[in-house]
Structure 1
Amino acid sequence: MVPLPAVVASALLPDDEESWQSRWQELVGVSVELQSLLVTDPGLELVLLSEQIVEQLADAVLASRGHRVELAELAHRVLETHARACAVAPPDPVRLADWLLRLQMDHPEAPEVSLAMYTTALNDDGLAYYRDVAVARFSRLPVIEFGETGRYDRNRWALLRIMEELAEYTEDVDLQLMVLTRDLSSGWHFLQVATVLQDAGRSAEALEWVERGLRATGGRGAAARLIDLAVDEYLRMDAPERATALCRDAFLDHPSLDVYLKLRTLVVHTPDWPPLRASLLQHLVGDGSPLAVEVYRRIIEVELARRGSAEGDEMIGWLERLRELQPDAFGDYLDHIKLRHIADRQLLDDLTRRGL
């Protein structure tokens, strides 16, 4: 009888379409034969035989031009047979862990290793070795800093997949964080880290990552979501004043209507709101940049829609400041306001009296 590895090698050698169907049947037959050996002749020899054939198929996945999907699926099927063989006749756990790591490092495309299939065979010793080696190798990868374009070569992809699977299998939050913090190229990655920490109940660390993310993003991209997370966490901690301070600082650093509305929601029903609002608007006036003026204008629109009866004089004052900031466009803007608030006679009368 021809040894199974030789059958696989022969079936993989001529890479032509005409003979593919017959060669594919030979490969499938090898997989079936391995499964039958689980019943008739389980043992360490079957473990080693399965490893050899998995490697042959994984090599073929890399080399194949038109049948990578089929070969990858078959490699995974043989790997499942290998896992079952290991459960029946466990090999040395450290040697098994080393083979699983080498398989994935040498063949990042396929097959995908599931540690859950090897729980019994690896035991604590094998898993500890697997973890130590994986963490040591992954730790040597450079961090992709904010704004950088990450270079994901085969080595990085392989280690990333190994670590993600290990973190999921062990349910280890620190491993998950190690994976996430190796790529900080955008604000969304900071948000992912903060979210994992929040879900794990590690509030202080989550808030630290929010602050790091806000510094990195400069108020753009994921900044709004980062602020949302921090506000939710501070409110959960019964610390609304810290939520207010974070939003205020974020607004002063990078003014936006979104942050203003968050502040408004937090403070509007307290005595602190009028002076806080005045300080925010004065900050925009002092800034005078196009962005600050645009935010100022949008805030006025919000306050016009929600103004209370005691805010008429303040509203007129805000409009006067806007005229100073945007003298050329103010006439058209004022006509727009009057049209939108045509039913508000008091506002229209106040605007007329003030010469606006």
Structure 2
Amino acid sequence: MASVEITEQNVRSQAGEEAFEFGRSLADRGVVDAVTVEGTRVGAHVEDAAVNLLVTTAGLDADCAHTHCAAPVPRLCEHAVAVALTWLRSGAERREPDLLAVLRTKDSGWLAAKLAELAAGDPALTSRLLEAAGGPDALVVQELRDDIASVVAEMTAERDDGYYEFDEWYPDTEDLEEVLDDIEGLLEEAPDAVVDLTEDAIRLLEDVLGDGCFGSDLPDALARAADLHLDACRAGAPDPVALAGRLLAGALRSGWGTFDNLAEYADVLGPEGLNRYGELLERERPAPNGSGREPYRLRKLREGLARAQGGTDAVVEFLARTASRSWDFVHIADVLIEDGRDDDALVWITRGLSDDPADPRLLSLALDCHRRAGRDADALEVLWTRFTTAPTVQTYVDLTDAAGQDATWGARAMELLRTRTVEHADLLVRILLRQDDVPAAWDIVQNHRVDHDLRMRVVETHARTHPEDAIPIYRDLAETHVRRGSRPGYQDAIRCLLTAQNLAGRCGQETEYSEFVAQLRAAHPGKKLLQQLLDRAGLQAPG
């Protein structure tokens, strides 16, 4: 088949005189090293930065890692020139592979355009191409392509005109679903056409969904188009190299996770397509974000590539390279658990806990693994660790519920809290109230600072059996509220006084209570509003 030859003159023509001369000086100085040649690809390093060349029928395409050369340009940069000249001078095999190998690096759109261009004005060639292409009438495919664009354009216009309900947009997707039905009808006859049509549909739908204000039907239509794309790829014979490029481009563009699950396409892509995907993904250079870690989006795509190439073990190997935080170990454990490998997951959970013994996510995963395996004793140990590192009512309840009839775990927990009563007074009181141990809770609120509302819960409960103990507390609160000097303060004070009055009546302390009210009135003779409110409440001094 046809092939092309790369010469210094080719390189000069593509680069221009200035870049060519600069590149030649770099080559002459010997700054190009690690030159590798694989088929149509030439790779090297120039001044510690990677430069890759791809030989095409049009000449050389270059990808240069130097900062000021990162953006694609029509001409070769000086670093690409240096690599090309070093390669040419080395005498390494420079013959281009056959035309088919080169064409396979191009996507279907480029190939279709070139074929149409070559066939223009040549009826015989046009006829041969149409006959060879077979499949549905080209007009049918084009009509479907136009239908997709038209339906989505109408939706976009509706959205832009502000047809919203409850701050959301609920487009009518009936026409869209009909078009997708028609596309699905081509799946058996022309799967490759369905691949192209669904890629158009996905791109258009993601664009119209970009504002994030919509009902559920439109995302469902996007998911259906993505499923159709996968089915069509499996049923057809898309070029794996070109498909890899489109899948990566779609995944990078998408904000909807479309094409994220590369493993679904693994059989279609094969080793060649997956390798190409990896090459293209390596070219994605994230902007510095100050964290020292790769952006989440690129990292997830690399994880997806690892899964597609080697399954769970490859994913774990990939994640382990940079595992340093608790979340990293959680993620690895999740991957293994999803694959049914709890014991392997526990190894990584243990590693994570060695750095952060209190991480609740790792402890929860460990607990689930032990429970699924029926290791009740190990599960109890995890629950104990979770309680001691983060003591709450819930972690206490989880521990005692799992212990069942074994009361020693609950006793250990309470003993631990009692040794730290100053720190955990609130928690102790809440647990004691759950256990109906009101006397113990009362003792704590009398001797330690606790939350006000919690303290009053204990006071109210204790007052049911010991009203005389609660009266002084309500009297003190009444005086505190009076000192606020406002109507709300006086109203709160009266509520406390009325409660104290009820308690005094239950324990025969009416006289003492009346004397207290008289003293309170006498202490604030100038607070007329207070005196009026006390009168209205019937809280008068004894006559």
Give the TM-score of the pair, scaled to structure 2: 0.38
Q: Which residue of 2 aligns with 1:103?
A: 250
- Does structure 1 conserve the Cα–Cα contact (< 8 Å) formed by 2:312 and 2:335? no
Query: Which amino acid in 1 is paired with 2:315?
Result: L
Equivalent-residue separation in structure 1 for 2:457 and 2:180 (angstroms) = 76
Q: Which residue of 2 aligns with 1:283?
A: 420
Structure 2 residue aligned with 1:175, among 308, 315, 336? 315
- Does structure 2 conserve the Cα–Cα contact (< 8 Å) formed by 1:247 and 1:262? no
Equivalent-residue separation in structure 2 for 1:326 and 1:235 (angstroms) = 42
Q: Which has the higher contact order (CA 8 A, sep 6+)?
A: 1
Equivalent-residue separation in structure 2 for 1:71 and 1:234 (angstroms) = 40
Equivalent-residue separation in structure 2 for 1:81 and 1:74 (angstroms) = 10
Q: Which residue of 2 aligns with 1:354?
A: none
Per the TM alignment, residue 278 of structure 1 is displaced from its structure 2 partner at its CA by 2.8
Q: Which residue of 2 aligns with 1:256?
A: 392
Per the TM alignment, residue 33 of structure 1 is displaced from its structure 2 partner at its CA by 5.4
Residues 212 and 234 of structure 1: CA distance in aligned 2, closer, same or farther (over 3 Å): farther
Q: Which residue of 1 aligns with 2:349?
A: 206
Residue 487 of structure 2 is aligned to residue 336 of structure 1: no
Per the TM alignment, residue 322 of structure 1 is displaced from its structure 2 partner at its CA by 3.8
Residues 331 and 25 of structure 1: CA distance in aligned 2, closer, same or farther (over 3 Å): closer
Residues 237 and 121 of structure 1: CA distance in aligned 2, closer, same or farther (over 3 Å): same
Residues 196 and 141 of structure 1: CA distance in aligned 2, closer, same or farther (over 3 Å): farther
- Does structure 2 conserve the Cα–Cα contact (< 8 Å) formed by 1:8 and 1:26? yes
Counting only pairs closer than 5 Å after superposition, residues 283-302 of structure 1 correspond to structure 2 as: 283-285=420-422, 287=423, 292-302=424-434
Q: Which residue of 1 aligns with 2:201?
A: 57
Residues 60 and 244 of structure 1: CA distance in aligned 2, closer, same or farther (over 3 Å): closer
- Does structure 1 conserve the Cα–Cα contact (< 8 Å) formed by 2:380 and 2:399? no
Per the TM alignment, residue 174 of structure 1 is displaced from its structure 2 partner at its CA by 6.1
1:36 counterpart SS class: coil
Residues 192 and 266 of structure 1: CA distance in aligned 2, closer, same or farther (over 3 Å): farther
Equivalent-residue separation in structure 2 for 1:33 and 1:272 (angstroms) = 66
Equivalent-residue separation in structure 2 for 1:78 and 1:278 (angstroms) = 62
Query: Which amino acid in 1 is paired with 2:348?
Result: E
Per the TM alignment, residue 283 of structure 1 is displaced from its structure 2 partner at its CA by 0.5
Per the TM alignment, residue 325 of structure 1 is displaced from its structure 2 partner at its CA by 1.5
Give the percent of matched residue pairs that are identical in Structure 1 and Structure 2: 14
- Does structure 2 conserve the Cα–Cα contact (< 8 Å) formed by 1:31 and 1:78? no
1:255 counterpart SS class: coil
Equivalent-residue separation in structure 1 for 2:412 and 2:226 (angstroms) = 68
Residues 142 and 215 of structure 1: CA distance in aligned 2, closer, same or farther (over 3 Å): farther
Q: Which has the higher helix share?
A: 1
1:172 counterpart SS class: helix
Per the TM alignment, residue 172 of structure 1 is displaced from its structure 2 partner at its CA by 1.5
Query: Which amino acid in 1 is paired with 2:433?
Result: E
Counting only pairs closer than 5 Å after superposition, residues 221-232 of structure 1 correspond to structure 2 as: 225=364, 228-229=367-368, 232=371
Q: Deviations over 1:70-113 (max 9, x none)?
A: 67745753653343112xxx74x444433332333345558657
Equivalent-residue separation in structure 2 for 1:124 and 1:106 (angstroms) = 24
Equivalent-residue separation in structure 2 for 1:22 and 1:317 (angstroms) = 70
Aligned CA RMSD, in angstroms, stands at 6.0
Residues 169 and 24 of structure 1: CA distance in aligned 2, closer, same or farther (over 3 Å): same
Q: Deviations over 1:104-138 (max 9, x none)?
A: 334555865776765544334434554x4698689
Per the TM alignment, residue 50 of structure 1 is displaced from its structure 2 partner at its CA by 5.3
Equivalent-residue separation in structure 1 for 2:333 and 2:349 (angstroms) = 4
Residue 189 of structure 2 is aligned to residue 36 of structure 1: yes
- Count of residues in correspondence between the two structures: 293
Equivalent-residue separation in structure 1 for 2:372 and 2:180 (angstroms) = 56
Equivalent-residue separation in structure 1 for 2:318 and 2:182 (angstroms) = 42
Residue 375 of structure 2 is aligned to residue 243 of structure 1: no
Structure 1 unaligned regions, length at least 5: 39-46, 146-150, 306-314, 342-356
Per the TM alignment, residue 296 of structure 1 is displaced from its structure 2 partner at its CA by 1.5
Structure 2 unaligned regions, length at least 5: 1-129, 131-136, 156-172, 467-543
- Does structure 2 conserve the Cα–Cα contact (< 8 Å) formed by 1:197 and 1:205? no
Give the TM-score of the pair, scaled to structure 1: 0.52
User: Structure 1 stretch 161-170 or stretch 239-248: which is displaced more?
Assistant: 161-170
